[in-house]
Amino acid sequence: MERFVLQKLIEWKSDNNRKPLVLNGARQVGKTWLLREFARREYKKEAYVVCRQNPIVREIFARDFDVMRIIRALSAISKTDITEGDTLIILDEVQDVPLAIESLKYFCEEAPGYHIAVAGSLLGLSMHAGVSFPVGKVNQIDVFPMSFGEFLLAIGETEKYKLLSGDDFQTISLLHDSYIDLLRQYYFVGGMPEVVAKYAETGGFQKVRQIQKEILNGYDRDFSKHAPTELVARIRLVWKSIPSQLFKENRKFIFGALRKGARAADFELAINWLADAGLVSKVPSCTKPALPLAVYENLVAFKLYLLDIGLLGAMADVEAAQVVVDDQIFTEYKGGMTEQYVLQEMKSCGVAPIFYHKADDSRLEIDFLIQHQAKLLPIEVKAGGNVRANSLSNFLKDNPQITAVRFSMLPYKQQQQLTNVPLYSVAAIK
């Protein structure tokens, strides 16, 4: 499969100021595959070391931070002659050996000619567990589930991807129905690499759902294994509530939906844990649609999304027919699914930070707000083709200097202040 983040890895390799690399991302998003594929394509040699349940590796890093000694030891256990410039050292499942993370500081300072990259499940949590993280001494790259474009390539729709990656919307519109059909498939399958690979192989939905459920079960086991004991029950409450929170009309996260009398203070740590693990994305509200957005952040109002639209559907037991075939059945909750998809695509494109706005004293509601080229860019998300005039239109009339984007099931159309972009072209926001 092709992953676009490989280009970032190539850029990291060629950077003269390169530092040790930390690959961030939730479990099962393909970090190990990416590093090994990167080594296969770009290096003569790979020194691959699994840290999980490996007492020898633990002993190597526990002794001291003598980098050359560590390199000799890694060379021995990987059975690879590690040399500068042409060998990629990969430390996988590094969360089991926190001192390996701390050692990256010394690789940066004392052995910058060696190329080393680390990855691990719930790596972000390990960084907060008493480990002296090498701030300023590492490069970091985030890995997300496969985007719609990567999905197209994986299932053999290469020409449709090539057309979609350009800006010839007149030609793209001729294939509008075909792209919508492919998008519906992606809504169900999502972007978890193992799931996409199975769908590309079989074209069937039942095995896809089985693998999605297995991934969700694995995350649930991670809660007990990695989270503080006192947080596990609250983490599960937050995690299991996300589909119902997103499928209601007002998608603002409501603590009272978790249990009667629940307060933000009771669940703040649980939400942060899930966010640090890369399992959820927190989109804060801003009190005013104006720049800079961070100044107007509302610290108590936010929306929570999962890392992947396919997993969201699996948690809600959405059936394939409801997504791929029957639009009427899908109507009640497709708004939440569509917002999940748009957010996921924007994050894959590197868009950050992302906010939303809902005024308490008016009908104005803006699904997403981003800062683009020093300008405010409101984003409206419509699950279908009904894009009747609403409060955003009035907002644009009152602010003629602002332009906005609407993602919907309609073909591309440029208007005065509002550009309608079809949902299958969210990546065009780049």
pTM (global) more than 0.75? yes
Give the sheet arrangement for strand 115-119, strand by strand: 45-50, 87-92, 115-119, 21-24, 139-142
* Residue 224, burial from CB neighbour count under 10 angstroms (0-12, 13-18, 19+): exposed
For residue 332, CA distances in Å to 145, 153, 249, 316, 318 come to: 25, 31, 9, 13, 12
Helix axes 206-226, 193-202, angle to 10 degrees: 160
Per-residue pLDDT of 98-120, as tens digits, reads 999 999 999 999 999 999 999 98
Tell me how far apart the alpha carbons of residues 308 and 144 are, in angstroms, rounded to a whole number.
9
Last residue in a domain, options 142, 167, 182: 142
Domain that includes residue 78, residue range: 6-142
Which pLDDT score is estimated for 87? 98
Please check whether residues 88 and 232 belong to one and the same domain: no
Query: Looking up tokens 């193992």, which residue turns up?
Result: 194
CATH number of the CATH domain containing 76:
3.40.50.300
> What's CA 20's distance to the chain center, in Å?
22
The one-letter amino acid code at 47 reads A
101 within domain boundaries: yes
Please check whether residues 131 and 174 belong to one and the same domain: no
Angular region, 261: left φ>0, alpha ψ -120 to 50, beta rest: left
106 within domain boundaries: yes
Please check whether residues 421 and 275 belong to one and the same domain: yes
1 within domain boundaries: no
For residue 398, CA distances in Å to 259, 344, 358, 371, 401 come to: 41, 30, 17, 19, 9
Last residue in a domain, options 112, 142, 172: 142
| Number of domain units in the chain | 2
Per-residue pLDDT of 194-223, as tens digits, reads 999 999 999 999 999 999 999 999 999 999
Which pLDDT score is estimated for 123? 61
Please check whether residues 166 and 86 belong to one and the same domain: no
Which pLDDT score is estimated for 95? 87
Beta carbons within 10 angstroms of residue 338's beta carbon: 22
224 within domain boundaries: yes
> What's CA 223's distance to the chain center, in Å?
19
Buried b (16+ CB within 10 A) or exposed e, 313-332: bbbbebbbebbbeeeeebee
Evaluate the omega torsion of the peptide bond into residue 411 and state whether it is cis, within 30 degrees of 0.
no
Please check whether residues 354 and 424 belong to one and the same domain: yes
Please check whether residues 135 and 208 belong to one and the same domain: no
Query: Which residues fall within 8 angstroms of residue 132, CB to CB, at 6 or more apart?
Result: 102, 105
Tell me how far apart the alpha carbons of residues 304 and 242 are, in angstroms, rounded to a whole number.
7
Question: Is the separation of the CB atoms in 351 and 368 below 8 Å?
Answer: no
Which pLDDT score is estimated for 273? 94
Q: Which of 341, 331, 356 is nearest to 426 (CA)?
A: 341
33 within domain boundaries: yes
Question: Is the separation of the CB atoms in 161 and 149 below 8 Å?
Answer: yes
Query: Looking up tokens 């459920």, which residue turns up?
Result: 213
CA dihedral in degrees (381, 391, 283, 145; nearest 10)? 0
204 within domain boundaries: yes
Tell me how far apart the alpha carbons of residues 422 and 412 are, in angstroms, rounded to a whole number.
6
Query: Which residues fall within 8 angstroms of residue 52, CB to CB, at 6 or more apart?
Result: 92, 93, 95, 96
Tokens for 259, please give them: 């249990």
Last residue in a domain, options 113, 142, 171: 142
Please check whether residues 80 and 153 belong to one and the same domain: no
Please check whether residues 87 and 164 belong to one and the same domain: no
Which stretches does DSSP call E strand in 214-372? 280-286, 297-306, 355-358, 365-372
Please check whether residues 20 and 47 belong to one and the same domain: yes
Please check whether residues 212 and 97 belong to one and the same domain: no
Residue stretches of the chain with pLDDT short of 50 = 329
Which pLDDT score is estimated for 363? 78
Please check whether residues 85 and 226 belong to one and the same domain: no
Bridge-based pairing state of the strands 404-408 and 413-414: unpaired
270 within domain boundaries: yes
What DSSP character marks residue 288? S
Tell me how far apart the alpha carbons of residues 413 and 420 are, in angstroms, rounded to a whole number.
5
168 within domain boundaries: yes
Tell me how far apart the alpha carbons of residues 219 and 134 are, in angstroms, rounded to a whole number.
27
Please check whether residues 296 and 417 belong to one and the same domain: yes
